[in-house]
Chain A
């Protein structure tokens, strides 16, 4: 299983861009990279998913370099409501395995 490593916590201010990087050195060819957001007392919520290069949706961008050994979630212009834990997930469909990271606790200050 691909092990993932993320920073434990990050601090930011409203209006700033936040980049959270996840390392997954043992990622397999058929692994996809997914990011989830979790608020206290709630289940995780899907943010974005990618396989390689760059993916963008209405809330975030995901950057994946050519070697795919890391990925970076980019949150543009964060607000207080973006304070949450962000999880990097590497999913292997072949073995029906999932590996969640330990999560990055993002604190956005006014």
Chain B
């Protein structure tokens, strides 16, 4: 138990569906992150959220839309995904995003399958 929870753990969706992934951290951290982990590829940082700002990887398609209503909750809204978006989506948190190298605490991930 890392203090970071993710729901759902598994999700199967069609390309026309709209779904959301949820992440919650109970560590009092100020920064939260979304990562994508595809088979045989390195972890890819998608978005960084902190109290001050959002930082995103410019290569992330617009069909992924993050939302961070407060410092404890993070969502990833999904719409019109493609089969190649099937992957493990990991949420993480850390004390301060300005020191991005600080220890990050990862959730268990959501295994997403796009049909």
Residues of A participating in the B interface, judged by any CB pair closer than 8 Å = 31-32, 34, 41-46, 49, 87, 89, 91-93, 96-103
Contacts and interface: CB of A to CB of B under 8 A. Distances in A.
Interface in B1-31: 2, 4
Interface of B: 2, 4, 41-45, 48, 55, 90-92, 97-101, 103-109
Given A44-B106, A45-B2, A93 B101 contact: yes
Label chain B's interface by main secondary structure.
Answer: mixed
Interface of A is mostly: strand
Contact of B43 (A32, A49, A87, A97): A87
The 10 closest A-B pairs by CB, nearest first: A43-B106, A91-B101, A32-B101, A100-B43, A46-B103, A100-B42, A96-B55, A98-B45, A43-B90, A102-B42
